[in-house]
């Protein structure tokens, strides 16, 4: 068990943690939540030993190994696979000793231990983790130096997962992932046998991975059972109970005080009045902590324009002459569109958004835009372009000199940047405040279309909810790229899939997309077990010059040798369970098709039978849930 007792930590005299205590049982997955600056990342650094607390204790079992993300990967010349394998330091040391020791007894002990830790399957397990995080078999054999910083952080995460520590410390692990890798990580962590402390602003991840929420607020830590939605409900109920109790006590106090005021100076009632004064003194006040709300976010409403805003006619676009990333795009955008772009990193989502923003010119075809249209473009890498020595109000003055000073401050206020933040140097702003400054800058001219490329990075959960509300209230068009499924589900009503050099409508919702990813993952596993290599290579480092997006590289002339495969020995019990899972997937898929056929029947809606319609909708939701569970079970059994 991890036990934190009376922990205090100060920065420049300000208490971040004040006598905070909490415990996490072995094997539990705990999510750390709270406003930016509440001390979540600080707590992880204290546990890992990177920071020293002012007082208090942290007790971790002596045999536990603590895993944390390496911020800088060493030995850039090693392959990705070698980097991940090196994270298992025990295996590396044992393999070296097996080659050098001459003591027969020690040789036997080393090989027994290698068998215990399943060293024979290490390369297969490392390859599967890298594949889940977006690196195909060809990319895994390339040197680390070929990849940009964001991709190297994925390798660092893969190394942390592969090392399988007893206590895993994860600080915003999805920040450098695309949606596909995020969904894979969610599935991986859900069944992780060790203890996890997870800092994340991803509501879906917190709902599906953790079984306990630790809320950091005002220096303290409070533990709640369940995921994030459970935490919100329990916290709300607790506050309502506290408010009800406070109102009851206040009513009692007023009632008794009225008696005292009335009979204080009447001799026959004086003793009773004194008794009530003592009772009033004993009434304990109920401390009601105000609910912590995220900042308000509000985009200015644009001028109404007739459709379409943008029309693409047989457009191809890319970064190098003769090498388009996206081809033959025939699309249109209207003022009321709310579209989320799906697809793995490197497929061209950011490239497509840059085309719409005018940052890239088409290589072929025509792009026609409404003459009065204004575009607001947000990209997370733009934080690197901010003047760190200026204040937000100074940055806004340079970007919008036509606005009066009061208008500039009012516009910053739309994004939660009040007077204090507006007069603080950008270098001293939090990541969330910098992101909101970028949102303010990109919307200063009331754009007709918002192009949002990972807008929620560094925003806390409440601020993400405020962003969703702002998008839904905005009357122009919106294109979103995000690894946050919750943001997509709540703000987009259409999905476009960017894949295989094209952009096409995805006919389904996020649950359908999850199933598609699961299905493709199964097919990839099958093909790799047959010795086939995936078709695409991961992103080269040079892609960082194009805003961090990693275009798919060309195949090398020489075909790399296939990765060593895991010994495919399946026990009778697992084989039977695998067959059962396959049967369940097939039956549930058939049932889902039948239900969707029923829901597509106009007669169901024409008879006025709302009860029957509700029944079929409930059946649909239940079968979809059971199918997702069966598919996950199949994947675990087939890859475990």
CB 8 within 8 A of CB 54: yes
Same domain, 270 and 337: no
In a domain, 610, yes or no: yes
Residue at which a domain ends, from 161, 188, 203? 161
Asked if 157 and 554 count as a contact pair (C-beta separation under 8 A), the reply is no
Q: Does residue 100 sit in the same domain as residue 134? A: yes
**What is the structure's pLDDT at 574?**
63
Q: Indicate whether 305 and 278 sit together in one domain.
A: no
Please tell me the least confidently modeled range out of 313-322, 440-449, 572-581: 572-581
The domain boundary, picked from 106, 141, 161, lies at 161
Higher-pLDDT residue of 292, 539? 292
Answer yes or no: do 106 and 255 share one domain: no
Pick from 124, 184, 125: which is nearest to 154 by CA? 184
Closest among 548, 452, 551, 544 to 498, alpha carbons compared: 551
Residue of 257, 260, 248, 255 whose CA lies nearest to 284: 248
Residues 84, 153 within the same domain: yes
Structure tokens at 210: 């953790």
Same domain, 261 and 306: no
List the one residue out of 216, 218, 294 whose CA is nearest residue 44.
216
Indicate whether 597 belongs to any domain: yes
- Number of domains the chain is built from: 4
Same domain, 269 and 323: no
> Phi/psi at 4 (nearest 5 deg)?
-115, 125
Task: Give the residue, 380 or 462, on which the prediction is more confident.
Answer: 462
Same domain? For 314 and 248 the reply is no
Q: Name the residue among 220, 311, 245 with its Cα closest to residue 5.
A: 220
My answer on whether 268 and 311 are in the same domain is no
Would residue 492 count as lying in a domain? yes
**How far, in Å, CA of 284 to CA of 273, rounded?**
19
Give the residues across from 494 on adjacent strands.
339
- pLDDT band (50, 70, 90) for residue 6: confident
d(CA 430, CA 377): 21
Q: Do 79 and 150 share a structural domain?
A: yes
Determine the pLDDT at residue 553. 35
Locate all alpha helices (DSSP H) within 505-639, ordered by sequence: 510-529, 572-599, 603-606, 610-639
CB 337 within 8 Å of CB 477: yes
Model confidence at 532: pLDDT above 50: no
Tell me whether residue 44 is in a domain: no
**Range of 520's domain?**
301-374+482-532
Asked which of 130, 161, 192 is the last residue of a domain, the reply is 161
User: Average per-residue pLDDT in the chain?
Assistant: 79
B/e letters for 240-267, b = 16+ CB within 10 Å, e = fewer, are eeeeeeeeeeeeeeeebeeebeebeeee
In a domain, 12, yes or no: no
Q: What angle do CA 391, 394, 398 make, to 5 degrees?
A: 140
| Position with higher pLDDT, 242 vs 462 | 462
Distance CA 162, CA 139 (A): 17
4-18, 261-275, 332-346, 518-532 — most confident range? 332-346
Q: CA-CA distance, 39 to 41, in Å (whole number)?
A: 6
Assigned domain for 213 exists? no
Same domain, 366 and 314: yes
In a domain, 34, yes or no: no
> Regarding predicted confidence, which is higher, 591 or 166?
166
Is 582 among the domain residues?
yes
Spacing of C-alpha 449 from chain mean position: 25
Give tens-digit pLDDT for 30-85.
Answer: 999 887 777 888 888 888 888 888 888 888 888 888 888 876 677 778 888 888 88
pLDDT at 478 > cutoff 70 = yes
Q: How far apart are CA 522 and CA 525, in angstroms?
A: 5
Q: Are residues 264 and 312 in the same domain?
A: no
**Residue 454 backbone dihedrals phi, psi, to 5 degrees:** 55, 60
Q: What is the pLDDT of residue 540?
A: 36
């Amino acid at each position: 068990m991890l036990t934190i007792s009376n922990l205090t930590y100060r920065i420049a005299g300000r208490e971040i943690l004040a006598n905070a205590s909490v415990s996490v049982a072995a094997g539990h997955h705990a999510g750390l939540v709270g406003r930016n600056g509440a001390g979540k990342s600080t707590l992880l650094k204290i546990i890992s030993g990177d920071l020293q607390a002012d007082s208090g204790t942290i007790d971790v079992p002596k045999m536990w190994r603590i895993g944390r993300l390496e911020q800088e990967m060493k030995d850039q010349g090693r392959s990705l696979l070698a980097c991940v394998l090196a994270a298992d330091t025990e295996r590396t040391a044992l393999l070296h000793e097996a080659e050098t020791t001459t003591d027969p007894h020690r040789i036997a002990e080393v090989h027994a231990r290698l068998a215990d830790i399943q060293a024979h399957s290490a390369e297969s397990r490392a390859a599967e983790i890298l594949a889940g995080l977006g690196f195909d078999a060809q990319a895994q054999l390339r040197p680390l130096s070929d990849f940009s910083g964001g991709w190297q952080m994925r390798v660092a995460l893969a190394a942390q997962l592969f090392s399988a520590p007893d206590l895993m410390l994860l600080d915003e692990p999805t920040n450098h992932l695309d949606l596909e890798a995020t969904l894979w990580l969610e599935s991986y962590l859900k069944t992780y046998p060790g203890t996890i402390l997870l800092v994340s602003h991803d509501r879906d991840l917190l709902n599906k991975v953790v079984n306990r929420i630790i809320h950091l607020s005002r220096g303290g830590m409070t533990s709640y059972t369940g995921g994030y939605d459970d935490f919100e409900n329990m916290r709300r109920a607790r506050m309502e109970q506290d408010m009800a109790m406070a109102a009851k006590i206040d009513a009692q106090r007023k009632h008794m005080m009225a008696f005292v005021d009335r009979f204080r100076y009447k001799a026959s009632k004086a003793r009773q009045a004194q008794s009530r004064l003592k009772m009033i003194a004993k009434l304990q006040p109920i401390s009601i902590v105000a609910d912590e709300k995220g900042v308000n976010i509000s985009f200015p409403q644009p001028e109404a324009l007739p459709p379409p805003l943008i029309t693409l006619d047989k457009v191809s676009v890319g970064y190098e002459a003769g090498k388009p990333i996206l081809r033959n795009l025939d699309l249109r955008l209207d003022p009321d569109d709310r579209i989320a772009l799906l697809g793995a990193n490197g497929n061209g989502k950011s490239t497509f958004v840059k085309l719409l923003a005018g940052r890239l010119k088409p290589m072929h075809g025509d792009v026609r835009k409404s003459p009065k249209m204004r575009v607001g473009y947000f990209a997370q890498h733009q934080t690197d372009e901010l003047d760190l020595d200026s204040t937000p109000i100074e940055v806004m003055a340079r970007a919008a000199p036509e606005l009066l000073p009061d208008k500039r401050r009012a516009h910053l206020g739309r994004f939660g940047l009040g007077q204090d933040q507006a007069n603080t140097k950008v270098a001293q702003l939090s990541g969330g405040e910098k992101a909101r400054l970028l949102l303010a800058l990109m919307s200063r001219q009331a754009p007709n279309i918002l192009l949002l490329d990972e807008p929620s990075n560094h925003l806390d959960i409440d601020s993400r909810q405020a962003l969703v509300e702002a998008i839904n209230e905005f009357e122009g068009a919106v294109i979103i790229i995000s690894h946050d499924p919750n943001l997509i589900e709540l703000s987009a009503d259409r999905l476009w899939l960017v894949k295989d050099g094209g952009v096409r409508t995805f006919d389904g919702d996020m649950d359908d997309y999850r199933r598609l990813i699961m299905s493709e993952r199964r097919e990839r596993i099958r093909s790799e077990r047959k010795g086939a290599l995936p078709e695409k290579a991961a992103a080269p480092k040079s892609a960082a010059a194009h805003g961090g997006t990693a275009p798919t590289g060309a195949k090398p002339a020489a075909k790399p040798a296939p990765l060593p495969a895991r010994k495919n020995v399946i026990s009778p019990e697992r084989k039977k369970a695998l067959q059962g899972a396959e049967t369940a997937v097939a039956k549930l898929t058939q049932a889902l098709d039948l239900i969707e056929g029923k829901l597509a029947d106009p007669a169901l809606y024409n008879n006025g039978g709302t009860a029957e319609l509700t029944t079929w909708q409930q059946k649909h939701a239940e079968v979809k849930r059971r199918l997702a569970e069966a598919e996950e079970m199949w994947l675990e059994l087939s890859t475990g």
